[in-house]
Amino acid sequence: MDGTGMTDPPSYDQIDRPVPAAYPHQQTPLADPFKTANIHTREPPSLPETTVIITSPQVGPDPTTILCPSCRATVVTRLEYETTTKTHLCAGLLCLFLCWPCAFVPYCSTACRDANHYCPNCGSFIGTYRK
């Protein structure tokens, strides 16, 4: 102790703990800020999932009165007949059994062809009746 009443600070050898660096924020290297950042994110509120199943209406071999799914008009469907494998098989069987003059009948008849239904108002496809 000197005459002013103050004591000398302890020497560096007398200190038990390590000496702090001049700038404490530089003591440890910074980690990746994206990994250590405590960012609070809030997920948007989730809406309940809704599943919509659209089924084609039941159609038959004749024009059907129906509510068109596209234009929402009540219409009588327009039919277009489509030649299928069944049509070709019927014609082939007629040729095979020596009825070749009648081989064209399955192509003219609606009995061996599928009926495609269309809306006469907007022209959209509604459904198929398979025979």
Q: Domain-by-domain residue ranges, the chain?
A: 65-129
The helix/strand/coil state of 67 is strand
Secondary element (H or E) of residue 107: helix 105-108
Q: Inform me whether the pLDDT recorded for 90 exceeds 80.
A: yes
For residue 36, pLDDT over 70 is answered with no
DSSP 13: G
Q: How is residue 66 written in tokens?
A: 């129906």
Residues above pLDDT 90, as percent of the chain: 31
Confidence of residue 16 (pLDDT cuts 50, 70, 90): low
pLDDT tens profile 49-80? 777 666 667 888 999 999 998 899 999 999 99
